[in-house]
Amino acid sequence: MAKRTFNNIKLGIFVLAGLVLLIFALYMIGRDANLFGSNFVLKARFENVQGLTAGNNIRYAGIQVGTVRRVKILNDTLIEVTLLIEERMKPFIHKNDIVSIGTDGLMGNKLINIVPAKDGSPPVKEDDILATKKTVGTEEMMETLNKTNLNLVLISEDIKNTIRRINSSNALWKILDEPTLPDNLRTSMANIQKTTAEANEVVIGLHSIINDVKNGKGSLGAILTDTSIASNLNDAVAKIQRVGDNANQLADELTNLTRQVKQDVNNGKGTVNALLKDSSLVIKLNSSLVNIEQGTAGFNQVMEALKHNFLLRGYFRKLEKEKKKEEASINKTVSMP
């Protein structure tokens, strides 16, 4: 009988050990699924959940803080994910924090990452909807890589063609093989340097000129900057205009005058007409001129007679001597140097 009791105690211990282990396992699994302890609910909406399912982990800045409770389709472009998060995290999660879907390791389970916003927004409340960020999925990455590869194929083809053309070009290689090329290039560079230095100076000069002009120095500056010139020019132009008007009037008067003269000439009136048309006047003038000629010849004879007169001879000799002296001094000055 005592043995049976002892056996029963052993049996009890055995069964209890099994039960304890079972409860421990259930508790451990349940704790991971956040079935025990206080939790609160947040929501996030995605276009694509990339295979996220209920029970996947939620991490806040890398810390395990809860699990996904439900994934529900709202409409054809929106999926609502209900997040079950430990109550103790409530003060740390803020309204502006961003939710994204990530992967545990390279090939692991999907999980939810809550990225702290760090902008001092207020803490979340129950059932708040957090903003989400679209992450690049493997498929999208592969698609982009595929495009990149195609581009690379084209680019490498082009590079191949270019290099082939470069290799087959004689002219280019001739240029590259030319031994004097470096020296020439060097001198060219030196020339270019000199030229640019000079150009620089020119530019500096131009700059100072422009500055002077700007400041109203010099005539060009005065022209460009002096405002009174404009009014002077205006006056000058007005005067020119007036002169022009007067000239016009003068021309009119001259026209009238010539017209009158013409009329007078044709009609035989006035002095001009007499000069041009009267033939008797010409004869009279001719005879007058002959008389004057005869008069001057007589006067010449009188003058010669006076020279030979003893009263006036001394005077004429004196005149001749002075004349000779003057000529001699002129000759002296010419032969001096």
Interface with another protein by CB under 8 A: which residues? 4, 7-8, 10-11, 14-15, 17-19, 21-22, 25-26, 28-33, 55, 107
Q: How far is the CB of 39 from another protein (least distance, A)?
A: 17
Q: How far is the CB of 2 from another protein (least distance, A)?
A: 14
Nearer to another protein, 21 or 257 (CB): 21
From the number of C-beta atoms within 10 Å of its C-beta (0-12, 13-18, 19+), residue 101 rates as buried
Nearer to another protein, 14 or 315 (CB): 14
Nearer to another protein, 19 or 261 (CB): 19
What single-letter DSSP state applies at residue 183?
A: H
What single-letter DSSP state applies at residue 88?
A: G
Nearer to another protein, 9 or 220 (CB): 9
Calpha distance 27→33 (Å, rounded): 10
Paired sense of beta strands 98-103 and 129-132, if any: parallel
- CA triple 49-52-54, angle to 5 deg: 130
Q: How far is the CB of 105 from another protein (least distance, A)?
A: 8
Nearer to another protein, 11 or 261 (CB): 11
C-alpha torsion 196→198→199→201, nearest 10: 130
Nearer to another protein, 8 or 234 (CB): 8
Q: How far is the CB of 97 from another protein (least distance, A)?
A: 24
Q: How far is the CB of 10 from another protein (least distance, A)?
A: 5
Q: How far is the CB of 53 from another protein (least distance, A)?
A: 11
Answer positive or negative: Cα dihedral of 224, 228, 229, 230.
Answer: positive
From the number of C-beta atoms within 10 Å of its C-beta (0-12, 13-18, 19+), residue 38 rates as exposed
For the chain, list the strands marked E by DSSP. Answer: 39-46, 57-60, 63-75, 78-86, 98-103, 110-115, 129-132
